[in-house]
Amino acid sequence: MKTVIGFNGSPRVTGNTSRLVQAILAGAQAAGAKTRLVHLARLDMGGCTACMACRQQAACSQPDDMGRVVQDILHADAVVLGSPVYMWQVSGQTKMFMDRLYPLLNPDFSTRLVRRPRLALAFTQGHPDESFFWPGRRREAGRDAGACPRGRCRPGLRPCRRGLSRRDPGGPGSGRPG
Q: Which residues of the shown chain bind ligand FMN in the complex (CB under 6 A)?
A: 10, 12, 15-18, 84-88, 124-127, 132
Nearest residue to ligand FMN, scored by beta-carbon proximity: 15
In whole angstroms, the minimum distance from the beta carbon of 119 to ligand FMN comes to 19
| Whether 79 contacts 70, CB under 8 Å | no
**Residue 3 vs 125, nearer CB to ligand FMN:** 125
In whole angstroms, the minimum distance from the beta carbon of 46 to ligand FMN comes to 20
**Residue 88 vs 134, nearer CB to ligand FMN:** 88
In whole angstroms, the minimum distance from the beta carbon of 165 to ligand FMN comes to 21
In whole angstroms, the minimum distance from the beta carbon of 171 to ligand FMN comes to 14
| Whether 171 contacts 131, CB under 8 Å | yes
**Residue 14 vs 71, nearer CB to ligand FMN:** 14
Pairing of strands 3-8, 78-86: parallel
Long-range contacts of 111-117 (CB under 8 A, 24+ apart): 112/58, 112/74, 113/73, 113/74, 114/74, 115/74, 115/75, 115/77, 116/160, 117/73, 117/76, 117/77, 117/78, 117/79
| Whether 137 contacts 154, CB under 8 Å | no
**Residue 3 vs 89, nearer CB to ligand FMN:** 89
